[in-house]
Structure 1
């Protein structure tokens, strides 16, 4: 029975990672929902609380979570608390994702390679769609470039460039 539950948890984790990858490009809401589902996947595990305590005692989690705590500390000096709380909420994954990844059952190297391959393929598809848009409206987009604009992408172009770079490095 326990092996069956572990197998389901592994499948939920893999599916969650795939949806998270799509969410990186298209939907912040999907990313939030997936993090909640994966968090529930950890909490509902019989040893879920034990895993969470182990993560919190791990020094690498504290280093990784510093990003969240820096944003939390800047609220003291913020003039716009609503904007500050919004930024803190956007950094919550830095607090929860390490716990989720640590407390999930072991995933095989093959599964990890497939998840990474899915990221690379998704990045290539989104890049090809952007390239097709460029060829369809070459002059309009070139004019926007001259005015300091950028091509229309599903995410902001610095984040998109970073994802393309990560996908390229993953192929090496």
Structure 2
């Protein structure tokens, strides 16, 4: 496992060591001890989620204002642009975002810590997206920031309008959203 820093210091790319031959491949997708050794993050994951989405489906930008979730995300089929936005008001990187291509091919994962909004858009015909969370999903605390908030300026890299859920259409601008202190 290798840890690759991003422009947002708390958000890191996790690149597994893949062993492949003519039979296929093998890699360890998570090892708590190694993750802690390389990142300094000791966390317990309490929930695993799996979604499948079609091309141009955009999910996000989501977070929980209470019971915030850290997420370790990856793609097992297809390709997405995965985005994390710092929504900690006291942070020097408040309102900044990073985007990382995650795919079945590159097998990369992204650690999105609590205090960040998270979303992704599917860039292949479909994608299967898996993620571990550090707290349980609590819909009463879930919030959504508008995917195209000009104050954040995420370049989703798609042409045309994305396919959104009703919840994401109703997302708030960062300036109007509940954020972390």
By the TM > 0.5 criterion, same fold?
A: no
Name the TM-score, length of structure 2 as normaliser: 0.24
Structure with the higher helix share, 1 or 2: 1
Structure with the higher strand share, 1 or 2: 2
Name the TM-score, length of structure 1 as normaliser: 0.25
